Chains A and B, each alone.
Chain A
Amino acid sequence: MKKVVFWGTRGSLPVSLNSRDVREKIVAALSAANGKSFRTPEALNDFVNKLPFSIAGTFGGQSSCVEIVHKGPEHVICDMGSGARVMGQDKIARFGVPNPQTYHIFISHLHWDHLMGFPYFQPMYIPGNRIVIHGCHRELEDAIHQQMSNPNFPVDYSQAGARIEFDIMEPGRTVFVAGLNVTPKRQLHSGDSFGYRFESVDRTVVYSTDSEHRLDDLESHRGFVDFFAKADLVIFDAMYSLAEAVSVKADWGHSSNVVGVELCHAASARRLALFHHEPVHDDKQLGRLLTETRRLEQITRGDNPPLEIYSAYDGLIIEL
């Protein structure tokens, strides 16, 4: 595995910056410039590069869609949230039409925010493409059909030009797909969700979203430590604060940055990407969460090797 590309990182519902948010960023950038003038475009770029990400950038608002780039010709993707639209456009731009491609898509679960991008994933309308949808829910095929049928969507599923296949996987059973060993794991979430562990000869990536962790369940804790063991990257549902996740939002099916750090430390993972961001959090809040999570990692590390912390944003590429 070479790298991981995040096309959609937001939880539950796509969001967007509004004009007030953009204005706030402009005001913050101009305040930081403090009347400075820039003689060259390079000088201006340097200045912008030094601004905090919450001012010069944005986490984006597309819902879950993550690509794992391996050496083979086949594409490996986790979930089809609204980020899949952007990914589809990128694939068409890169490979052109006709230029048949194979897409392996692993679906964590059938909630709306993880499937809604599929009807907007352009490669599915192009004959010659092959799309294999992998998942552990028996209703996987029905859910995709339903989403693209009257009155939910104007284009019926039968209009798909690509060849679409379904592969129902078993939790705990490893399959070999596109040059990778893939092992699903059942996670605590309404209607069940499944995490996936992807292994190549020398790299491991775990995609674990929409997953609540019962802190009094030591057996489950150990199960996740094994599932994350020595991973080069763990993509982790960190939607809530720990306090919310164990109190007012207990049983809502999500987890926190604190539990992500604990599990990754216990599993000796190398990198943790906070994922499935709360829609009400703006760039400033997400930036603060990242800073706090890095600090937490530092003060609770003990004898563990350092864990690199990212907060996933739309467009982030992590080289493995």
Chain B
Amino acid sequence: MTSDGPVCISVINMKGGVGKTTVAALLGRHASLAGLKVLAIDLDPQANLSQAFMGDQYKQFLADKKPSIVELFNGFRPPTPTTRLPTSIDVEDVMVSNTSLGGRNLKLIPSRFDFSDQLIDAVRPDQRVLANVIADSSEDWDIVLIDCAPTESILTRVAYQASRYVLVPVRPEYFATIGFPLLKDSLDDFKGRNRGHTIEVAGIVINNSSYHYSGNRGGPERRRSTIEIKREGQKNEWHIFEQEIPFSRGFPKIMRGDFSHPGDAVFFPDFAREFFEHIGLDS
């Protein structure tokens, strides 16, 4: 077993619906089942990653007012029906483990969709909170995966602060690369302000997330955009992964905890293996 050591990766694309959450969740699951210790962090106020991992438990989580990333940022738990003072927050309390999607080796820091409000309300949200949390528990993980929101915000900075790599899923469609210059600028700006921090794009993964791209349906449009993605990638010296993620109705099913008929989603590990090898992690 050779490995370059524990690593933190943010799954980012300034576009929505490209498969960030799907990729983050399934990479987490893959790593966990391979025996790696995984921390998955939901940085998207939409909380899709949390819902995917927790399924029906997410209802209870909301009802019980369990702590989430919101409380991690606030640094305390507000009073609840059972506690009548603000209480200190223990990172362990925030983590959800043993989910049916993530398995035994994965822990999740869940999100809530009042997260963005809370950050806007805060005078100066500290973009290093998450990096600190990870640093404090760094011995517990082989891999940390952060699922990001589709818009550039303070949360993008929060993700960068913790990450060594950025993974970018794209859909092979017209406009696929429109976000690339934005991402490049945003990363360059971050690097300029944080000179001691090494962060780079681990690569672009083509995710055929619509049936329009499967088989011949994507047609010349699909081929053109793939060429475009490769050209724009090369321009920025960003790696493009060989393995594409196939279209499969199995993906949305798995994401809601339905493991029957995964279809072509069974090929996801082809990409996962290539990705882990590329970043120097044995899975």
Same complex: no
